Amino acid sequence: MAKTIPMRWQTLADTPKMVDALKGQHAEINGCSLYYAMGGTGEETVILLHGGMANSDYWGIQAAFLMQYYRVIVVDSRAHGRSSTGDKPLSYNQMTHDIASLMDHLGIAKASIVGWSDGGIQSIMLAALFPEKITRIFAYGAHMSLAGLNQNFGGNKVVSSFLERAEEEYHRLSPTPDNFDQFYENVQQLWKWKHDSAFTIDQLSSIRCPAWIVDGDRDEMINRSHLEYLFQHIPDSSFMLLPDTTHFAFIQAPNLFNAALQDFMSVSG
């Protein structure tokens, strides 16, 4: 009997290894020790923001690709990865201000933002709150309200694999490795109860930079209707679905994802 090979959207590829040329360090930002790594020599800067419960290593393939042409920065969000929780509650608003403050700390006047999931939320918030800092945004699998999240995602095999991996990676990377249970609870509250990035139509309509609303056509976590809502209300936006991929397309189909990023970066900002 022939062996059944899972489709790419049915599996969670390994977390990539971050390219060695990106040198990691910490900066004291808004009361927390924020980890970031920077490399590449291009004139334009691209900042990659990961999803909730993850860390910047997930961008390893995209960072290696983009740094051929751009200065690339990856960041571990507050309380995630190698960054500390700090003295402020975890919120989308705080994480967004952390990125704006990091840009000031590094003397970066303007950057393009590529964000996945919670990082995609931050990309949209940055474009609205700090328009002078943002060239363009690539928001992958973002939800800007509780209505955007499929609350039944917990039973999905790929998501379950990610959550199990997230615990192992937290214990290995975090400066507070024994605090996973509290970290998990804080992120779950953001996703399901205390979502603080609910933007009005007026706020979405205030965005003036090119914005790409992107997702996998089989995303387990984000409601398609919500993505269409974002596309309808963000001016100068584009809507793209990557075929046979889920919330994790950047590791399920990295060549496809990178091709979309290359096209995205060609758009005038």
Residue 41: per-residue pLDDT: 86
Res 226 pLDDT > 70:
yes
Query: Tens digit of pLDDT for each residue in 244-269?
Result: 999 999 999 999 999 999 999 998 87
Of residues 48, 63, 52, the one with CA closest to residue 139: 48
The average confidence (pLDDT) of the chain is: 94
Strand order in the sheet with 23-29: 23-29, 32-39, 71-76, 45-49, 111-116, 134-140, 211-216, 237-242
Res 2 pLDDT > 60:
no
- Label residue 213 by pLDDT band (50, 70, 90): very high
Residue 137: per-residue pLDDT: 98
Res 131 pLDDT > 70:
yes
Residue 151: per-residue pLDDT: 80
Mean pLDDT (whole number) for 52-69: 97
Contacts 24+ apart (CB under 8 A), 153-161: 153/220, 153/221, 156/220, 156/221, 157/10, 158/9, 158/10, 158/11, 158/12, 158/220, 158/246, 158/247, 158/248, 159/220, 159/221, 159/247, 161/12
Residue 26: per-residue pLDDT: 98
Of residues 239, 254, 52, 60, the one with CA closest to residue 139: 239
Quote the pTM value: 0.96
Sign of dihedral through CA atoms 159, 164, 166, 167? positive
CATH class of the domain whose range is 20-266: alpha beta
Secondary-structure breakdown of the chain: helix, strand, coil percentages, each rounded to the nearest 5: 40, 20, 40
Q: What is the DSSP string of 61-80?
A: HHHHHHTTTSEEEEEE-TTS
Place of tokens 């920065």: 73
Tokens of 190: 């953001």
- Label residue 222 by pLDDT band (50, 70, 90): very high
Q: Hey, what's the torsion of the CAs at 37, 40, 45, 46, to 10 degrees?
A: -60
The whole-angstrom separation of Cα 73 and Cα 25 is: 11
Of residues 4, 98, 82, the one with CA closest to residue 90: 98
Res 73 pLDDT > 80:
yes
Where helices occur in the chain by DSSP H, the ranges are 60-66, 92-106, 118-129, 157-173, 180-192, 201-205, 224-233, 249-252, 254-265
Of residues 138, 141, 140, 142, the one with CA closest to residue 70: 138
Res 208 pLDDT > 70:
yes
Residue 162: per-residue pLDDT: 96
Query: Tens digit of pLDDT for each residue in 3-39?
Result: 677 889 989 999 999 999 998 999 999 999 999 999 9
Q: What is the DSSP string of 139-188?
A: EES--SSGGGB-TTGGG-HHHHHHHHHHHHHHHHH-SSGGGHHHHHHHHH
Mean pLDDT (whole number) for 51-66: 98
Of residues 159, 163, 165, 77, the one with CA closest to residue 113: 77
Domain definitions of the chain by residue range: 20-266
Residue with the larger pLDDT of the pair 3 and 42: 42
Kindly give the interhelix angle for 118-129 and 92-106, rounded to the nearest 10 degrees: 70
Query: Tens digit of pLDDT for each residue in 164-190?
Result: 999 999 999 999 999 999 999 999 999
